[in-house]
Amino acid sequence: MQLSLRRPKAQSADARPPAATLPSSTVGKIVLAGIFLLPILLLPLAEQFVLFSKTYLMLLLGTVVLTAFALSIFRKRSLRLTFGPLAVPLLLFTGGSLAASVLTTNFPLINFLGMGGVFFFSGLIAWFGGSMIEGGRLARHALVAATASAVVVALAGILQFVGFGLSGLFSQIMGVTLSNTLAFSVTGAASIDLQLMVTVLAGLVAYFQLYRRFKPLAIVGLVTVIVGAALFAWAITPGQPGAEPRVPLASAWSIAIDTIKFPRQAILGVGPENVTSAYNLFKPRILNLTDTWNVSFRKVGNTPFTLSIGSGLVTAVGWLGILYALARQTGKVSNETKPIHYMLLASFGLGLVFPPSLVIAGWQGLLLAIWIAGERHRLPMFEFSGFALPTFNRNFQLNPTKQGTWVLPVLALLMLIGAAYTAFVSARGVAAEYLLLRSTQQGQAGQVADAYTLLQRSIQLNPFRDDVRARYAQININLARATIQQAAQQAQAEAAAGGEGTQADADGQPAQVQISDRAQQQFRQLVQQAIRESQAAVTLNPANTQNWRTVANVFTALIGTADGADQQAVNAYLQAIRTSPQDPIVRLRLGNLLFQLQQVADATGFYRQAVELKPDLAVARYNFANGLTQLQNLTAARAQYIAVLDLLDPSTDDYTRARDELDAVEAQLAQLQAQQAAAAEAGGATGQPGQPQLGQPAEGSDALLPQVVDDTGIEPDDQQVDLEGVPPVVDDTADEDESLQAPVDEGG
């Protein structure tokens, strides 16, 4: 066994490298293909097909590079890694990403099939790929591939801007309606497009300054990239279709500091796919006064903040270390690699402004592999040699070997097993995403049975998506309610047809219809399935507020049909409050549930908390006023109704209803004051207005109570959040009536 660190002969940075030729190694070609395909690849095989295409492409690229590296150990009978200024920060970034993905949850695949896997394979491709690539210098070919990809992105954006973009094509293919503006992007967001344009522009400018070669195709590419950069810069300005809500840096700093207060979270983070939960848990209350108060962000601030929250300080320090090492190498890189070097500096520099994205993280890993391969002639090489396969004697005992060590074969074998496992779970993930898409399409077509079966198969292939399990739970409880209602209607129709519709029981009440045993059994099965799936969702991710809201929805629907369902629903809402303490909507819904359960005092308390969290939430103040009215605290109720009117548009029906309710309360107050005055004159006042006491609401007020709506517990999971037209009341259903109406029973 030999360990060596070989340092090559020093060469001048201005020494002319060999002529650029296509790489002779498969890895080099794969890296070039990844640079070109990653921003533009779109496969309509999933609901979130943009994110899906890039995620699984990165997993494929990482699997291939890992396999090639393991095979190279067998072929060369040694392990060789380029060692240099990027080695330590790359090790921190890659190792930190892997540790955060594996150690922050009991179900690592949740992270590994998302940003955790992307970060890990980005670092792995950079180090392993850069150490393996052979053949001619790849820098120029990488610049060509990146420019070609950026030109495609720019042209797609221009077509999207004029109304003839790819969104129309994918809308027809997938049977969905996609935005025909710059809100749709082949990379996922206009801000990512802009980062790509600036990154490529930095490389082109460096290339032209070095070689003074102005070929027609290069000029066309440069002009197209500049036009694309200007278009996307305009698109992300406030009020434009590509603008995205952002967490202010001050709030992002606060969330990051609160996250890393705990030693384990400081090192590992909360998990790459769990940044939203950290945001909800540590969100500053002041954000409730902004336009994005109801947005659950998946990325917080810029790249270092998001990395420190999701993947821990080790990963964030590694990322910043890469940027620092690149900056230190600016005057040392060869001319051939300079365009890639400045592309990396631009990309990492933009990360100090923008949050991380899948495309940018993947590009950084691929470009770093090109950088390491291009600078390998001046960087030391770490080599671990000494290779021997283990042998066994007749008694199946390990024979000692003097020719080498069997550590390397075992290490290579573990890499192959890891690559095979990644390929296996990725294939299952792809199949699960496709079945989920087909389930949605069948449901939209009215094929409920087929949609249900496809959703079951999707969960069987990938049981680790808590949002899908929550969706399945909601579907089951909805089907259970529909089943029992349909059975009751059918029984009533049969009773009426048989002349039994007018029969009455001993008390003279209409006789209840008998629901068939089959319908009751199906109802019980669906309910049990809904409970199991909702509990599976919170088991997979107990920090996700939406999962607890789904549990609350399931048990709310069972109130009146299952013992203890009301308390289970209340407990689920309390858990949701613990995971999102600054969310007024959770308290509002818990108040609505308690109001239905006739626990008016408790309901009013939660309405008060919702108002304290977001004073300009009209429906919360309205519910609070109504609860105070129920408690006969009329003076405080009057003040809340006045505040509601200040928040509503006078031309709306909601304003008229609130005005009528205020008039009713004022009439009650006047009546009580008159009664008190009369009683005082008679020498026997009977009470004081405004003193809390249980009682019925004022006449006519029950028609104006706030609406309680059905909730799926599922929110959009993509990067783009459209805030235009957001109603004052947030709900997850698309067809909600936002007017102020009487409470309805969610459980039916």
Task: Collapse the DSSP code of 447 into the 3-class scheme (helix H, G, I; strand E, B; otherwise coil) and give the result.
Answer: coil
Per-residue confidence band for 377, with pLDDT thresholds at 50, 70 and 90: confident
pLDDT averaged over every residue in the chain: 84
Decide if 122 contacts 95 (C-beta within 8 A): no
Whether residue 228 has pLDDT greater than 80? yes
For range 606-621, the mean pLDDT: 95
How confident is the model at residue 585, as a pLDDT?
A: 96
pLDDT tens-place string over residues 250-261: 999 999 999 999
For the ranges 3-12, 655-664, 737-746, the maximum mean pLDDT occurs at: 655-664
Residue 709: per-residue pLDDT: 30
Structure confidence at residue 15 (pLDDT): 43
* Lowest-confidence segment of 321-330, 368-377, 678-687 by average pLDDT: 678-687
User: What average pLDDT does range 666-680 have in this prediction?
Assistant: 87
Classified as helix, coil or strand, 222 is helix
Q: Which residue has the higher pLDDT, 137 or 50?
A: 50
579-602 confidence digits (pLDDT tens) = 999 999 999 999 999 999 999 999
Confidence label for 715 from pLDDT (cuts 50, 70 and 90): very low
Which has the higher per-residue pLDDT, 710 or 309? 309
What's the whole-model pTM score?
0.84
Cα angle 414, 416, 418; round to 5: 70
Mean pLDDT of 360-386: 90
Sign, CA torsion 376/380/382/386:
positive
Tokens of 564: 């203890």
- Parallel/antiparallel/unpaired status of strands 381-385 and 78-82: antiparallel
The answer to whether 182 and 217 are in contact (CB under 8 A) is no
CB-CB neighbours of 387 under 10 Å: 20
pLDDT at 405: 67
Predicted local confidence at residue 385, as pLDDT: 76
pLDDT of 604 strictly over 90: yes
Band of the pLDDT at 247, cuts 50, 70, 90? very high
Predicted confidence at residue 2, as pLDDT, reads: 53
Q: What are the residue ranges of helices labelled H in 331-465?
A: 338-350, 358-374, 407-444, 448-461
Angle at 448 (CA atoms; ends 442, 452), nearest 5 degrees: 85
Q: Residue 200 — very low, low, confident or very high, per pLDDT cuts 50/70/90?
A: very high
Give the pLDDT band of residue 376 (cuts 50, 70, 90): confident
Mean pLDDT of 540-567: 93
pLDDT for 729 beyond 60: no
- With a pLDDT cut of 90, the percent of the chain lying above it is 66
> Which of 12-16, 321-325, 727-731 is predicted least confidently?
727-731
Indicate the range of 402-411, 574-583, 663-672 predicted with least confidence. Answer: 402-411
Per the DSSP assignment, residues forming a β-bridge with 385 are 2, 78
pLDDT in tens, 453-507: 999 999 999 999 999 999 999 999 999 988 888 888 887 877 777 655 445 454 5
**Closest by alpha carbon to 633, among 706, 570, 702, 693?**
693
Q: Quote the CA–CA distance of 737 and 344 in Å, as a whole number.
A: 49
Judge whether residue 734 has pLDDT over 90.
Answer: no
- Which pLDDT score is estimated for 160? 94
Using alpha carbons, select from 526, 548, 430 the residue that is nearest to residue 475: 526
Rg, C-alpha atoms of the chain = 32
Q: Provide the pLDDT for residue 75.
A: 86
Res. 8: pLDDT tops 80: no
Q: How many helices (H) and strands (E) does the chain have?
A: 28, 3
pLDDT confidence band for 424 (50 / 70 / 90): very high
If we measure between CA atoms, which residue out of 482, 437, 483, 478 comes closest to residue 461?
A: 437
Asked if residue 308 has pLDDT above 90, the reply is: yes
Query: Is the confidence at residue 266, as pLDDT, over 90?
Result: yes
Which string of DSSP letters, residue by residue, matches 314-337?
Answer: HHHHHHHHHHHHHHHTTTTS-GGG
User: Which CATH class for the 583-706 domain?
Assistant: mainly alpha
318 vs 521, residue with greater confidence: 318
Residue 423 neighbours by CB under 8 Å, 6+ apart: 63
Q: Is the pLDDT of residue 512 over 70?
A: no
Query: What per-residue confidence (pLDDT) applies to 17?
Result: 42
Over residues 240-269, the mean pLDDT reads 93
The larger pLDDT score, comparing residue 358 to residue 492, is at 358
pLDDT over 70 percentage in the chain? 83
CA 305, 327, 92, 121 torsion-angle sign: positive
> Amino acid identity of 49?
F
Distance CA 162, CA 151 (A): 17
The answer on pLDDT for 196 being more than 60 is yes
Q: ∠ CA(739), CA(742), CA(746), 5° rounding?
A: 100
Kindly list the domain boundaries of the chain, sorted by start residue.
Answer: 2-8+28-391+401-416, 583-706
Over the stretch 141-165, which tens digit does the pLDDT of each residue have? 999 999 999 999 999 999 999 988 8
pLDDT tens-digit series, residues 73-123? 888 888 888 888 999 999 999 999 999 999 999 999 999 999 999 999 999
Give the range with max mean pLDDT: 30-34, 132-136, 409-413.
30-34
Nearest by Cα to 299 from 192, 139, 426: 192
d(CA 124, CA 435): 30
